[in-house]
Every structure is written in structure tokens, then in C-alpha cells.
Amino acid sequence: MNIFKSKIIEQINTEQFRYKIISYLMNNRCCRQKCNHANYQSNAFLHEHFDIFKQSINQELKKNIEKLWVLYAKKGDELIEHWHKHDNRILVYCI
């Protein structure tokens, strides 16, 4: 997996921005039924709601994306490997 820290997102990466992302996640969960995904994972259309992600990936990586989701882990949460490991995928993160 490639890890990329966006200079575009870094400029707006505030506590308020992260709160908006978490709010999106809570209202747009990955699955309507119980699934094997992470407890806090959004649907695959994060980039449609937050155009800044699409802009960052298009401009900085010169790629178009079809799916983008957010996985939220609280400090101390255990991450199961299949939740966040995807071959040929890009991880864009906000800390």
C-alpha cells in the first residue's frame, strides 16, 4: 500500500475538518447490516461529499478515483489487518 500525505489536505486539516469527516462517517456507514468492516467506516463516496479529497488525488497523484472511504480508529483501538490493508491502494491520512 502506498502512503501519501497531501499538501492540499494538510492546509485544511483542522479539528473542525476532522469532525466533519467523522460526522459524515457516522451518517454514512459502509454497510446497512452488520458486516466484517471496521466499527467506524464510511461508505465509499467520501470524495463526492468532500471534493478536497478528489482534488488532492487528481492534482497531486494524477489519478482519478471511483471509491474513497474513511476508517476511524480511536486511540487504543485494535486494528484488524484486513480493515486497512489493500494491495494497489493509496492511504491518505489525517492526523
The predicted-structure confidence for 65-90, as pLDDT tens digits, reads as follows: 888 877 777 778 776 655 555 555 55
For the chain, give the percent of residues with pLDDT over 90.
15
Q: Where are the domains of the chain?
A: 2-92
Computed on alpha carbons and rounded to an integer, the radius of gyration of the chain in Å comes to 13
**pTM for the model:** 0.72
Residues 6+ positions from 63 with CB-CB distance below 8 Å: 57, 90
* Summary mean pLDDT of the chain: 78
Cβ atoms of residues 37 and 52 within 8 Å:
no
